[in-house]
Chains A and B, each alone.
Chain A
């Protein structure tokens, strides 16, 4: 019997604020294989970030839990690196030092100084940011910051890479560039990736499976769609691809017909 790499096991989350208590997530279960790229899509406020934070260990689940390689996850750690929606680089450190901080912390014992430097530069080059290593985050564009955030996460050699709307704040062109970078990195390194997104095209283009969440409160996994497109995927060729169009349609149908967003966000 093949055990899943990452298991989200009947996770529920209740937030208590004073006497009020709201159930945000209800009974979420999902098995993710090693090397899989899974997207989570759902309307704003349904609890996607909450779920990602539970996987990251930043928020404890009320009921249920997360198993990574059969071991329970109950605190954050570099084996589940997060790329946050707003990049969250430390503004007082250079691009290089932001990544180096992670490298030093994770590989401080295993790697020598020179190796850590090389590893930092290697990861910056991977996201095409080696040229801006000595700039501060405030001196580079939004897309570049997000690249550095991804480099920092990759540099930790995480078992699972968690992306919380990584391209949400970017314009369409930059977004497309970064999606291509992420696809390429995923193809080269074979990371296991969980990505939250609002963007249907992005989800279909990047994912092996798309997890669609119902509206909150008490959001559940509504449907899981497998995207049977061969890799590498080329965005231009896919536009006319029947499988792509069909996948896209079923996600849109789920979001806008069956689980229309009722209250204004």
Chain B
């Protein structure tokens, strides 16, 4: 399973011993300069996290500029993007009427769809995953079906959804739902199946009823797995929404790209791609942060 994505906290943890050794070496410094040292340490930490990616971005921009500034280049250079689309970059939330709005608004519309679709997928996925993880017969019956369905590409569901709902909004939400539910189901099921026999025995000795067992043992014990599934799921939904919106229209960020392509506004597309990447990254971090807060202490035992 994809468990490797959790808990990459090593660099944060390393900062602490450094402070401690400093305090030992200088036993008579007043507390003020200790906080000074701590601030300096924090600044160093931030710098080591921020500077290397900044350099990478700068290099990419330079290479891109060189490649696309030549005569006959098919794609816009960064300078062109800035010149033609800086309104999109600097003010994400302008609003001049129905299709002339900032990318921030469009992202929010897309996020809203993702939230509904992914929220449903999370709830249903955790319930189905619990069922599959808990009952051998449910696993035998459902698991093969899930394994087949999860390989269907998101957009292949769209015509079916359009036919069923006869409206683009619920269809887009359905595509999100059906895309992101599989990793939630599968990871939840693995998490439930991996609950140590000891915890089950504790529940048996205490005579916990089914509801108490679900809330007090199952969910917390499987939480690291569940959050891994949710994290993969939110990534997939963000991938799917852009594609779905290209086909269904509306005001989402996906449709904006399609619209820009049809009217040959390549710089706008470049800006939209950056928006999508940054928002997808933030979604991923958000879910992983919630997961880390919610599973404190479970992973380390």
Task: State the A residues within 8 Å of B (CB).
Answer: 56-58, 75-78, 80-82, 84, 86, 88, 90-92, 101-102, 105-106, 136-138, 156
Contact = CB atoms under 8 A, between A and B. Distances in A.
B297 A136 contact: yes
A190 to B, nearest CB: 21
Given A88-B198, A92-B296, A156-B206, 4 more contacts: A75-B204, A77-B205, A90-B217, A138-B297
Nearest to B295: A92
Interface in B162-203: 196, 198-199, 201-202
Nearest to B198: A88
Interface centre among B221, B295, B301 (most CB of A within 10 A): B301
A57 B205 CA distance: 8
A90 B295 CA distance: 12
B297 A91 contact: yes
Contacts of B273: none
A88 B199 contact: yes
A77 B207 contact: yes
B206 A84 contact: no
Nearest to A87: B198
Nearest to A149: B202
A105 B201 contact: no
B199 A90 contact: yes
B298 interface: yes
Contacts of B216: 90, 101
Contacts, number: 61
Contact of B301 (A56, A57, A101, A137): A137
Nearest to B298: A92
Contacts of A88: 196, 198-199, 201-202
13 contacts: A78-B206, A81-B205, A82-B201, A84-B198, A88-B199, A88-B202, A90-B220, A91-B297, A92-B297, A105-B208, A105-B212, A136-B297, A137-B297
B47 interface: no
B25 interface: no
Contacts of B206: 78, 101-102, 105-106, 156
B210 interface: no
| Majority-rule SS of B interface residues | helix
Contacts of A136: 296-297
A212 to B, nearest CB: 26
Contacts of B300: 91, 138
B297 A80 contact: no
Contact of B207 (A78, A86, A92): A78
Nearest to A76: B204
B297 A82 contact: no
A75 B207 CA distance: 9
Interface of B: 196, 198-199, 201-202, 204-208, 212, 216-217, 220-221, 223, 295-298, 300-301
Contacts of B202: 84, 88, 90
A148 to B, nearest CB: 12
Contact of A78 (B205, B220, B297): B205
B203 to A, nearest CB: 9
A33 to B, nearest CB: 23
A84 B216 CA distance: 19
Contacts of A78: 205-207
A84 B298 CA distance: 19
B297 A56 contact: no
B210 to A, nearest CB: 14
A91 B205 CA distance: 18
A259 to B, nearest CB: 29
Contacts of B208: 105
A50 B140 CA distance: 30
Nearest to B217: A90
A106 B205 CA distance: 10
A86 B198 contact: yes
A58 B301 CA distance: 24
Given A101-B216, A102-B206, A105-B207, A91 B298 contact: yes
Q: Name the 9 nearest CB pairs between A and B, nearest first.
A: A88-B198, A92-B220, A76-B204, A91-B301, A136-B297, A105-B206, A76-B205, A92-B298, A138-B300
Contacts of B297: 91-92, 136-138
A136 B220 CA distance: 14
A77 B296 CA distance: 30
A160 to B, nearest CB: 12
Interface centre among B196, B206, B300 (most CB of A within 10 A): B206
B224 to A, nearest CB: 10
Contacts of A91: 297-298, 300-301
A258 B216 CA distance: 48
Interface centre among A82, A90, A105 (most CB of B within 10 A): A90
A88 B195 CA distance: 12
A81 B201 CA distance: 11
A185 B204 CA distance: 25
B300 to A, nearest CB: 5
Interface centre among B199, B204, B208 (most CB of A within 10 A): B204
A136 to B, nearest CB: 5
A86 B204 CA distance: 17
Contacts of A82: 201, 205
B301 A138 contact: yes
